[in-house]
Amino acid sequence: MEQDKTQETKKKKKDKKEKPKKSLKREIFEWIMVPVVALALAIPVRTFVFEPVRVDGQSMMNTLQNNEFMIATKFDYLLGDPERFDIVICHYPNTDDGMYRVKRVIGLPGETIELRGGELYVDGEHVEQNFEMTPNATNFGPLTVPEDHYFVLGDNRNNSRDSRDSMVGPLPRDMVCGHVRAVVFPFNRIRTVGGEAE
């Protein structure tokens, strides 16, 4: 009887010693799993849903300012195509820096684009540009946008490397990655942005 009690006491002590080991293992597992799950969710969200992007430079003034943070949605271009005056994030040909450029879609596939004194002409017809563009007297074109390509410009046409540059040119559709929807930082400048009606 005495021996049974001693064995039972030893077993209880052993159980008490083992429990912290189990909870420590569980705690370590949970600490590892939290970032793993967060990463597993973040990758498809950034690939297919939306992505935060920082404005780097003055090429989109006056619409966007240097160092503003924006949200660009991606799912709309998985289901459809960019439209005129959408603000987009895109990659440039012959660059592998992994950085997005932020520009505005001006010309669609097959259209002939021309700028005369800063005014936009599409297939010979004048098109109003109803957005906060930096004043300019730009002349360019005419240029016919190839099929499955988009002609993009910065809103600050006096200081923007865009589709007017022969090293960039009209962008293939797969280089247009997302549709800029809103500025989210700094907090005192939160606002929606996007395509203005023609």
Q: How far apart are CA 192 and CA 132, in angstroms?
A: 13
Cβ neighbours around 15 below 10 Å, total: 9
Residue numbers annotated as active site: 59, 103
Q: How far apart are CA 86 and CA 89, in angstroms?
A: 10
* H helix or E strand, kind and range, residue 26: helix 2-44
Q: How far apart are CA 123 and CA 134, in angstroms?
A: 24
Cα dist. 196→86, 90, 130 in Å? 8, 19, 6
